[in-house]
Amino acid sequence: MTPHATTRHAKPADPRRLAWILIACLSLVLPLLCACSSAAGASGDGGFSVPTTEEEAHEAVGGELKVHYFDVGQGDCQFLEFPDGTTMLIDAGPTVSGEGVVEKIRALGHDSIDILVASHPDSDHIGGLRYPLREMKVGEVWAPDAEKDTYAYEKFLKAVDGQNLTINKAESGKTIKEGKGYSIELLGPDMSRQGRDSDANSFSTIIRVQFGDTSFLFTGDAYKDQIDRAEEDVVDVLKVAHHGSHSGTDAKLIEQLQPSLAIIQYAEDNPYGYPHSEVREALEGVPTYGNAENGDITVTSDGWSLDVTICKGEALW
């Protein structure tokens, strides 16, 4: 679908920015120090310059991160394109959306997926995953150590097996990948707090993607207290948990995370009343977009600022 509008959202002043610039500078300087130490010791001139501005530090990151929040009706689906070419798919909505997800990924120019994540075993998240697993080459699969006796979950496991892949257990404290200027960290689920009789939502993966000075949080259907414990820092772009249910978001959590943008994935006229009024009130003042009103949503980061592209409508508020 042709993009309808693009809006730039500048990040507010953040003391973390200076720290990140320092990290970017060190990433450039330290290898040069090692390579040139003997020559510099003799001449006193190492022959290199240290980046001192945001623009120069931005060069250390390079490229853009694109995060697509695909409209899959009443379900979740996010597709990430990293500047080094790495791709990651988180969920693919219900079964009926699976083929469409494959088509959207191919329309972006990709025939394979490097990292595939099943946030938790509910059908509105994993039902569609069987299609990319059947029709596209997948590098690795991550999912929480949770099972569900459903047709959708059974088909998901069968599709994983069909590519001769094993599932990496998603849990807090693990790193999925680190690349140039970015990291993909698992903040949840915290398996030390999980009981085997817990409901599927409580096993939701919580993923933080950091790219330069910008951060994205992916929450599945996690509960607000789990997100509160998992993420102590602020985030720039929040994928609102559980399609805008009050179980995943409240004013306390938004005050803690201080998102610059929020994305809610839900279907128009859904039978659950999402997004709930409590969530709307909690997000008041935060630019918020939703698939029901805006279609596919893409957030692009250059490491410093954020651009939002939607297919229709305007921001929810």
Report yes or no: 82 and 184 within 8 Å, Cβ to Cβ: no
Q: Residue 110 and residue 96: Cα distance in Å, rounded?
A: 21
The whole-number pLDDT of residue 42 equals 35
The whole-number pLDDT of residue 33 equals 37
The whole-number pLDDT of residue 196 equals 65
In a domain, 45, yes or no: no
Residue 35 in this model has a pLDDT that exceeds 90: no
As for how many domains the chain has, the answer is 1
CATH of the domain at 286: 3.60.15.10
In a domain, 54, yes or no: no
Question: What percent of the chain has a predicted confidence (pLDDT) above 90?
Answer: 78
Give the number of other CB atoms < 10 A from CB of residue 230.
19
Report yes or no: 213 and 14 within 8 Å, Cβ to Cβ: yes
Residue 8 in this model has a pLDDT that exceeds 80: no
Stretch 141-149: mean pLDDT:
94
The whole-number pLDDT of residue 15 equals 47
The whole-number pLDDT of residue 6 equals 72
Triad 80, 84, 88: Cα angle to 5°: 25
Radius of gyration for the chain, computed over Cα atoms and rounded to the nearest angstrom: 20
In a domain, 316, yes or no: no
Considering only 8-12, 188-192, 280-284, which range has the smallest mean pLDDT? 8-12
Q: Which residue has the higher pLDDT, 250 or 49?
A: 250
Residue 13 binned pLDDT confidence (cut-offs 50, 70, 90): very low
In a domain, 10, yes or no: no
Report yes or no: 276 and 310 within 8 Å, Cβ to Cβ: no
Q: Note down the domain range covering 303.
A: 64-310
In a domain, 2, yes or no: no
In a domain, 48, yes or no: no
In a domain, 155, yes or no: yes
The whole-number pLDDT of residue 59 equals 65
